[in-house]
A and B are shown apart, each in its own frame.
Chain A
Amino acid sequence: MHDYTHHHPHPNQPDEEDGPFTEYRLLEVALRELLIEKQVITQAELHKTYQMMDDRGPHNGARMVAKAWSDPAYLDLMRRDATAAAKSIGLEPTWLNLIALENTDAIHNVVVCTLCSCYPWPLLGLPPDWYKSRTYRSEVVRNPRKVLAEFGTNLPETTEVRVHDSSADMRYLVVPKRPEGSEGWSEEELAELVTRDSMIGVVPALAIEDL
């Protein structure tokens, strides 16, 4: 009997064991085994998918932001067609329709999916729990400044806050303001300043002294 669960951890997964086996955890194992036995999916395909998932992460979005900060032609492309901008540097936006949102002193953009969990995951990886939480989804459209304050982001009253509600077919990537003092930095150095949360729009990019 194959045991895909306990004794053959996938190489790309954390070492810690899963929590207790609930009804739905059992369902996960049962369904996966049945799909493999019926040759609907294969174990090799699953491993390839785990690998792809691990290759996704905020480093991808950060590359786009750093390039947009550095290269006016790339920024122009991001403004016109962010999906094409991702593809042009070899990133995997697949089916994503992507819109880039630029944060400025005048306008601060923040992203949510009120209905579920839509997120530009090829560019940012899997979303944090709070992004999927009932409270974020309820509250950020009603009182975005209060939610931003929970992240330590306190914007001046003169900054307009815009909340963007993602959908299955449309995802957003925030381009945070370029940190002061980063003039002359290379794209690789700039990318270090661009965090996941800054591309969701709940915090600014790191300050240069934070590195």
Chain B
Amino acid sequence: MVNKSLTDYRGVHDLGGLLCEPFVPDEHDYEPWEKRVHAVRELLATKGLLRVDELRRAVEGLGEEKYKRLSYYEQWVWAISQIMLERGIVTDAEIGARVETVHARLASHD
């Protein structure tokens, strides 16, 4: 066989059994913004607007560089946004414009 079998394929999220740096049991208190992301995900799921497999598809489709660089809830907020775009609930232009508005507003508070 020249071709690799399909079972040789590993997604970037498929980490079980791989060699890695040493494990250290770290943890931090959840930040308020992380809890907000979690709550929005849960609420959208309750309303049938975001399924867990959709969220995971988006997270697993981040690409290796982003998957490794982004924190857990950074991955989630990006993935939730993607699904909301796909479902036509928000548009790219709306998100772009609102990010600018929020940025300007928060900068003015500092």
Residues of A within 8 A of B (CB): 1, 3, 5-6, 9-10, 13-14, 18-19, 21-22, 24-35, 38, 40-41, 45-46, 49-50, 52-53, 112, 114-117, 126, 128-130, 132-142, 146-147, 150-151, 165, 168, 202
Closest to B70 in A: A24
Q: Is the CB of B77 within 8 A of A31?
A: yes
Contact status of A10 and B32, CB under 8 A, knowing A130-B25, A133-B23, A165-B16: yes
Q: Which residues of A contact B37 (CB under 8 A)?
A: 28
Q: Any chain A CB within 8 A of the CB of B6?
A: no
Which residue of A38, A115, A142, A147 contacts B13 across the interface (Cβ within 8 Å)? A115
CB contacts (< 8 Å) of A6 on chain B: these are 106, 109
Quote the shortest CB–CB distance from B52 to chain A (angstroms).
5
List 19 interface pairs A-B (beta carbons < 8 Å), by A numbering. A5-B102, A10-B35, A10-B36, A21-B106, A24-B78, A27-B81, A27-B95, A31-B81, A34-B98, A40-B47, A40-B89, A46-B39, A53-B39, A115-B13, A116-B13, A129-B27, A138-B19, A141-B16, A168-B52
Residues of B within 8 A of A26 (CB): 99, 102-103, 106
Give Cα A147 to B18, complex, Å: 14
Give the residues in chain A near B53, CB-CB below 8 Å: 168
CB distance from A29 to the nearest CB of B (A): 5
Interface status of B14 (Cβ within 8 A of chain A): yes
Q: Are B17 and A32 in contact (CB-based, < 8 A)?
A: no
Contact B102 A130 (CB under 8 A): no
Q: Chain A contacts of B74 at CB under 8 A? A: 22, 24
Inter-chain contact A130/B27, CB cutoff 8 Å: yes
A29 partner residues in chain B, CB cutoff 8 A: 102, 106
Cα(A14)–Cα(B36), bound, Å: 12
Task: Knowing A14-B29, A34-B94, A49-B43 are in contact, say whether A138-B18 is a contact too (CB < 8 A).
Answer: yes
New contact pairs (9) apart from A35-B90, A46-B40, A136-B23, CB-CB < 8 Å: A10-B36, A21-B103, A24-B71, A26-B103, A40-B89, A53-B42, A114-B16, A115-B15, A138-B15
Q: In whole angstroms, how far apart are the Cα atoms of A45 and B49 in the complex?
A: 15
